[in-house]
Amino acid sequence: MIYLDNNATTRMAPEVREAMLPWMDEFYGNPSGGYRFGKKAKQAMDEAREKVAALIGSQPDEVVFTSGGTEAINSAIQSGTRQHPNHKILLASSVEHSAVFEAFGAMESQGFETRWCPVDEQGRLDLEQWNQILEGAQVVVANLIWANNETGVISPVAEAAAACAEHGACFHCDAVQAVGKIPISVGELPVHALSMSAHKFHGPKGVGAVYTHRLSRFTPMFYGGGQEEGRRSGTENVAGIVGMGVAASLASEALDSRKRLADMRDDFENKILDSIEGVEINGGNTERLPNTTNLYFSGVDGEGLLILLDEAEVCCSPGSACSTGSIEPSRIIKSMGHSSTRARSSVRFSFSRYSEAREVDEAVSAVKAAVAKLRVVLPRGVTR
Ligand code: PLP
């Protein structure tokens, strides 16, 4: 199998699994326990907190563990809205992940109003409009995806965050795809909160964290035992948190070799562009994650391509994994001003540090064969 869907999830690093095992087995104490058996678990979590903080350039006590990226995002947004209860405007880019998109949608039914800031045809945020929206309305929470999960396009986080600071809006960054793939130093940015998820950087699924600036008040999403210094209630997933810590340290070390990843991705893109006609890179003319490519194959049904590649044992994605199964064309590609046809004919390939150079050629051959097959018959709604 050639696994090129690392933006959906990644293989857990063997070192992570090894580190987790004792915490699922012999050291099962509750970290809130007052005895040494429990304190040992608490200490292991604190070490993991230091490792995660080191990966994003924060203080350890600014890291709150959650059940993953979705919880981190929802809790950051909800906490942000409580800072100014009278302000009801939410701001986000038009290319947010469904975790933000749906959270904002749900908040509209509670009296909030959302302003979606557009992106250009490369998926770049329109900073001018971002600033105008902040100037014209009392925005309570602004949200920006650091790196897009479908295209890998990187947002101007520093500029967007600075504008929010100037206008008193709480700024949350969805950095789920960025953490572990590109260097992040949150301490240097006016960011109130930032979300991350372990399974995107070779850690376990079902564990993540939200960075919360030490000077901003973070109110929990749900109430209970007051764990995580009152910022996230519920008995902690100790094994998962230990695994996330090890994954964070490994990711920090691997950041230096991200050029190798970019070279592999570029090699894949160049070979596809050279050998298949009618291919364009979505967001190809701007800064992107080193591991991601989103390709438009004109006259090809993306779902069909996925099925043929699956038969050839190549795993890739029509965009966000969360929207697989729905026949809706990618919201992200459409937000970039492209047609539904182009969105339906676009496929994402995402590499990881475990990807091998030989897989590039095998994947290119499989894509070539599948595209040739699909171009013989065009399904309804797909035009050349
Ligand atoms: N945000 C982005 C940009 C993502 O890519 C994802 C996962 O695909 C999430 C949030 C949700 O993270 P999790 O799967 O940990 O809930």
Separation CA 297–CA 54 (nearest Å) = 40
Interval 248-277 mean pLDDT: 97
Interval 225-251 mean pLDDT: 97
**Residue 2, beta-bridge partner list:** 314
Interval 13-36 mean pLDDT: 97
Query: Do 329 and 340 form a contact (C-beta atoms < 8 A)?
Result: yes
Separation CA 252–CA 245 (nearest Å) = 11
Looking at ligand 1, which residue's alpha carbon is closest to its atom 9?
A: 69
Q: Name the residue type at position 344.
A: R
How many whole angstroms from 320 Cα to the centroid of ligand 1? Answer: 9
Separation CA 41–CA 223 (nearest Å) = 22
Separation CA 11–CA 43 (nearest Å) = 26
Phi, psi for 106 (deg, rounded to 5): -65, -35
Separation CA 245–CA 76 (nearest Å) = 21
Q: Closest ligand 1 atom, CA of 71? A: 16
Tell me if 207 CB under 6 Å of ligand 1: no
Q: For residue 46, what pLDDT is reported?
A: 98
pTM for this model (two decimals): 0.96
Q: Provide, rounded to the nearest whole percent, the portion of the chain with pLDDT above 70.
A: 96
Write the pLDDT tens digit of every residue in 55-89: 999 999 999 999 999 999 999 999 999 988 888 99
Write the pLDDT tens digit of every residue in 135-184: 999 999 999 999 999 999 999 999 999 999 999 999 999 999 999 999 99
**3-class DSSP state of 323:** helix
How many whole angstroms from 102 Cα to the centroid of ligand 1? Answer: 12
Tell me if 68 CB under 6 Å of ligand 1: yes
Residue 104, pLDDT > 70, answer: yes
Residue 336, pLDDT > 70, answer: yes
How many whole angstroms from 54 Cα to the centroid of ligand 1? Answer: 21
Separation CA 62–CA 29 (nearest Å) = 24
- Is 170 one of the annotated active-site residues of the chain? no
Query: Do 25 and 238 form a contact (C-beta atoms < 8 A)?
Result: no
Residue 216 pLDDT grade (very low, low, confident, very high; cuts 50, 70, 90): confident
Separation CA 261–CA 139 (nearest Å) = 38
Separation CA 247–CA 24 (nearest Å) = 17
